[in-house]
Structure 1
């Protein structure tokens, strides 16, 4: 039941309204045409030990320009009765995703005895896209909502794509079934977490009269207890560079002849300016 498909490459000639097709290679037997996708990784999955048929997931990532990648996925249902109704690709924190797209073949109009509910034919409606901070998902209607929904049924292949500024890494996509069965995960290439740029913390250390205190020590300590220090300039200014955002830091000042309030707890998500300290003699 798994070797009843073949494919063959053809050369297409002519122009709009008049095309010609000529065989370019020999027939590739016992494999579906999803294997003809150049440069793609294609994996086969058999459900319930093969008792409920097989489907294929293919993916390909192309760097279209410096810092931009096109992510393409294809799902082909060879002979899986339960069909497929949802597909979700995980993304990382801060990942930018754009140009989200979907393609499915048009369904035949309904006819008497076509096997669909009410002889209405299967829907050709595009799947609904749902983008969250952690994933991009596509889904058709559920079986309960519409038994004629545009699920990936026998012998059909659907495509999913988007663009991202994050480089690919290996992750698990989620396949949701239409008729029955729990979702399953499959390995793919997906955008990795965005590289978060480090930030800076700056300010001034002064005395009670507003004069800058030179060579005061500013100490910053992260949540794991790692500390480092910088010294103020002759006018009391300081800048701490390469601070990793997304944490709460303990920042305090010290200097000879001066006392300062207790160190401050500072949550840092972006550059911090005017974090000032006033010492008293």
Structure 2
């Protein structure tokens, strides 16, 4: 029962992140599941099965609010679904002990990327003279889908920044289109995991716990994004992802306690500096606005 409550809280926290940033549900929840000793394939499968419901709800909401470019969704879902299915089959056929370090390392890199993106603020309204061709959606969708399935997250962090460089799309439509297309990615990943792992390897109680937490958090996230600056929230989340996956990697490498403690201090120190820098920037911007 305690584990189910923890999983529900993980789903809630991950959805708060995703609903506020438009990304990182998978990478946040998978990182935390790995921290609790769940095998990579089972963790990713559980997350994607829960996402079938949470992404459906998110997609319907975005469509109702007019935040979706249907052409972009159509161009992403086919290569994305193929990549996700193949990624799920790939990770599902490899023993968890072998793939776990690589998954944690990939999630660690995503954590650094999330901090980089929100620490050095990317201005989505900036006019960049770049237009994505129809062919460019094929590798983008495939790569984002494959890494999303193998790492338990990556669809939003990979697809969203690339699409934001397209000056013909509004930022809200980028986020809405990526979130809506993620439903197909979640379905394809789930089918791949069921084919390789089977139902017996997936604990449906864990899936429902993640799902319930995510559904509860969806309306809260809409409120949270209004009171916490996006850059600050992104930096906080990036640090959590880095810390959880560093802990997993250190435990797998069986390093000495002194090295582990030193590594934790360094990460926490750098994380604190990043949070301080973001907070200082926000304070400076507020002063300029008041003047």
Common fold by TM > 0.5: no
Q: Which has the higher contact order (CA 8 A, sep 6+)?
A: 2
Name whichever structure is richer in strand by fraction: 1
Name whichever structure is richer in helix by fraction: 2
Q: What TM-score do the two structures reach when normalised by structure 1?
A: 0.25
Q: What TM-score do the two structures reach when normalised by structure 2?
A: 0.24
Q: Which has the larger radius of gyration?
A: 1
